[in-house]
Amino acid sequence: MKTRSLGHFDLVVVGAGSAGAIAAITAARSGSEVLVIDRLPFVGGTSTGVLDTFYGFYTPGENAKKIVGGIPDDVVEGLSKFGSMIERPNTYGAGTGITYNPEHLKVVWESLLQKSGAKILLHSLLQEVRVSDGRVTELVLATRAGLCSVKGNYFIDATGDADLSHFAGFGY
């Protein structure tokens, strides 16, 4: 079966959940040509597919202090525009929670990625990782359009299951 090339990128991020999306947005905003890949039909991973509240932006306890900013602030700002986000005070000792509508979060993540200049490839399952001299050089993906390959200078495994590391034969 023939494999179609998707080109060469400065950075390829496998996994478009919160960690992968933030890595891709950061690199793209810094001028890198970025491709972010996910097996799901939407970005956001667990934050959009399973959860409805972010924790960890504030310290736990009664006198919560905000300790996380940057792109998470952009996410919260995007959610607040939908009018469906609330800050919940200290819940079960976990600190202030940001509760949101997961469908709105999908839109926010995708919008932030697009505005950063990152390219997004969804419905794509990692099939093979090509390694040369101990470095990942190319990925082979199963997509709805068939097998595709992508080359890159750098790769980030943000799959949550160490898929890229596993297929590359790296320890994890």
Sheet containing strand 97-99, strands side by side:
53-54, 97-99, 86-88
pLDDT for 60 equals 85
DSSP 50-68: T--EE-SSB-SSSS--B--
pTM for the whole thing?
Answer: 0.93
State the amino acid at position 118 in one-letter form: A
Cα separation, 150 vs 13, in Å, equals: 11
Percent over 70 (pLDDT), the chain: 99
**Per-residue model confidence as pLDDT tens digits over 13-62:** 999 999 999 999 999 999 999 999 999 999 999 999 988 998 889 888 77
Q: What backbone torsions phi and psi does residue 159 show, to the nearest 5 degrees? A: -75, -20
